[in-house]
Amino acid sequence: MLHIPSAPTAALSILPFSEAMARSGQSGGYDAAKWLYVPDFYTEYRYILGTRGQRPLVCIGINPSTAEPEHLDPTLRSVERVAKSNGYDSFLMFNVYAQRATRPDDMERARNEQLHCANMEAFDYILSLSDRPAVWAAWGNIIEKRAYLKDCLADMLAIGERRGAQWYTAGRRSVKGHPHHPLYLRAGSPLEVFDIRAYCESCL
């Protein structure tokens, strides 16, 4: 199933993260004790999708697609497998930019500042769930699709440093040095420490 954006997100009513988080679990249709889904209904953007636990692995992609609780796409199923095989009891999928688009080429050309700020609030929240957050960089070459994505990532780097995050990758890097996308990883792929600051300085 494809998700093609219906309109630029600036033309939509964006639910702030704090409000979306407060409502999470109220819409029904999934087990809110197991899943963290924000907003908790299908819409043109998504802040967080994952499972609840004491030791989550935070996976970072570029932008969300069609996955929902109990209806994971192949990428999210791979994320879940890698998290379990590396000793984590849960996973949280986050994205550099929150607009839903199955094809990255359909992402909007200009960053919606309201959506970006809400997304950064969501990132800060999920990192606050752990004393030493584990963050898996997994966006592949898609980071090159839009110029604003590197600026989004720079904001995430600052939040991660404040929260004491440890960054990881899995699988071989691309020719340009970008971290491997989860979809093409073997089951049980080990995580390796990733110098996110050096990456940002040399590859973006």
Token look-up 């029904």 returns 28
The pLDDT tens digits for 43-86 are 999 999 999 999 999 999 999 999 999 999 999 999 999 999 99
- Phi, psi of 104, deg, nearest 5: -55, -25
The pLDDT tens digits for 89-142 are 999 999 999 999 999 999 999 999 999 999 999 999 999 999 999 999 999 999
8 A C-beta contact, residue 92 and residue 50: yes
pLDDT for 188 beyond 90:
no
Residue 181, pLDDT score: 94
Residue 88, pLDDT score: 97
8 A C-beta contact, residue 128 and residue 92: no
The pLDDT tens digits for 27-39 are 888 999 999 999 9
Q: Residue 83 class from Cβ within 10 Å (0-12 exposed, 13-18 middle, 19+ buried)?
A: buried
The pLDDT tens digits for 70-81 are 999 999 999 999
Bridge partner residues of 37 (DSSP): 49
- Phi, psi of 143, deg, nearest 5: -60, -20
Residue 29, pLDDT score: 87
Bridge partner residues of 168 (DSSP): 136, 193
Q: Which residues contact 199 (CB under 8 A, 6 or more apart)?
A: 137, 177, 179
pTM passes above 0.85: yes
